[in-house]
Amino acid sequence: MPVWECDPATMKGRCCRRKQETMKLSEKDQAENKESQRNWSCSLIVAALVGAFGSSFLYGYNLSVVNAPTPYIKAFYNETWYRRHGQPIDPDTLTLLWSVTVSIFAIGGLVGTLMVKMIGKFLGRKYTLLVNNGFAISAALLMACSLQAGTFEMLIVGRFIMGVDGGIALSALPMYLNEISPKEIRGSLGQVTAIFICIGVFSGQLLGLPELLGKIWFYTNSIFGKAGVPQDKIPYITLSTGGIETLAAIFSGLVIERLGRRPLLIGGFGLMALFFGMLTVTLTLQDQAPWIPYLSIVCILAIIASFCSGPGGIPFILTGEFFQQSERPAAFIIAGTVNWLSNFVVGLLFPFIQKSLESYCFLVFATICIAGAIYFYFVLPETKNRTHAEISQAFAKRNKAHPPEVKADSAMAEEKANSQPETDPSSTLDSYGQNRIV
């Protein structure tokens, strides 16, 4: 039969088959939508929001709480020192005390991270989060009463205890959310941690506390100043960064189950490297034209948006997805230790890096972002909508680290064990959370 001739019977059969396939796809999409709606139960949403509000929100708020009252805290230190010793405090001693006050939050976070496995073993995820509120309350009382008591040591100890609260929260909360979430919405629900961190930071900024998420942006006010931004405009620009953080984190939570973890994480690192490079150029050429400083502002906002849409929250999700339930506490201890030590080191070294490299200081971070994007491109498998057994098998197959069958069988065996009701009082999940494990 010539190409241009068509058999009506054949064409009719093909059309029928195509129509049937289209109907099947439509029915499949409808079934998936119904399943997704069933997954978002009211109790699940409430558990996630309440847990995040009492945990990651406080962490984000305490990242931004220390910068605005700096002059008043230093004056309090000076008054206390004068009352004790009869002379003003030495400037170097004052700088040391202030540095300890700021950095001890990260040290407390490291201690809290190391405590998670021990506390979680006896109390489980949910009760670990509940008990953790005791650290936050005691820290708040110490810091609030330090002025009346005339003891600045109470403020420093309170910052340390608040760091312990943050360290426990950033390990226990992602584990809890991972284990109560169906695999179809595990990524979206896991992003609640990052969203509430950003809301906490934004709340601090909204109250006039100009500080940004992460120690890399701890000195952003000085960066805005060096970029030629008027001093009276800096607080408003700083506040806008908090809004960008929150919007980017919410956007990531909405699209993560459609795009997957890999594109958001790798794309986030790639965009951060790009905008770090552009920021270096604008800072170098800021005196060449009056509009260049505003490009620096755009670059900083773009860096923050890129961070919060991927690298800021997805590692919390991946740490829970990569490991079986029995291995998860140890994995979060390692991840949390790296996170808090990195915060401490970057916050400590950034002024020296900025002083040495000046406008080229962000090339250091651009290099790290490029290395991270390349590494994840070749090593990281996609985990979207996969069980822990499937993730384990895909990871092993991609990296050829373990025999896929053995690793998958081990993961499947543990998943079956986890699906059985537990009577041990030290169980890591309550009955509701246990029934939600996939």
Q: Exposure of 97 by Cβ count < 10 A (0-12 exposed, 13-18 middle, 19+ buried)?
A: buried
Q: Exposure of 215 by Cβ count < 10 A (0-12 exposed, 13-18 middle, 19+ buried)?
A: buried
pLDDT of residue 230: 66
What whole-number distance in Å separates Cα of residue 21 and Cα of residue 117?
A: 50
- Residue holding tokens 């405009």? 233
pLDDT of residue 214: 38
Helix (H) or strand (E) holding 7: none
Residue 400: CB atoms within 10 A of its CB come to 8
The number of CA neighbours under 13 Å toward the Cβ of 274 is 13
For 68, the 3-state DSSP assignment is coil
Residues of the chain with pLDDT under 70: 1-40, 67-68, 208-235, 399-438
Q: Write the pLDDT tens digit of every residue in 205-258.
A: 777 544 433 333 444 555 566 556 666 666 677 777 778 888 998 998 888 888
| DSSP string over 372-432 | HHHHHHHHPPP-TT--HHHHHHHHHHHHT-S-HHHHHHHHHHHHHHHTS----TT-SS-HH
Residue 77: CB atoms within 10 A of its CB come to 19
> Which residues are CB-neighbours of 154 under 8 A, at least 6 positions away?
142, 143, 145, 146
Q: Write the pLDDT tens digit of every residue in 155-191.
A: 999 999 999 999 999 889 988 888 888 878 888 888 8
pLDDT of residue 61: 86
Q: Would you say the C-alpha torsion 190, 195, 197, 200 has a positive or negative sign? A: negative
pLDDT of residue 277: 94
Delineate the domains of the chain, giving CATH numbers in brackets.
Answer: 42-436 (1.20.1250.20)
Tokens of 109: 């976070």
What whole-number distance in Å separates Cα of residue 93 and Cα of residue 81?
A: 10
- Let me know how many helices (H) and strands (E) the chain has, helices first: 18, 0
pLDDT of residue 108: 92
Residue type, 69: P
What whole-number distance in Å separates Cα of residue 71 and Cα of residue 257?
A: 45
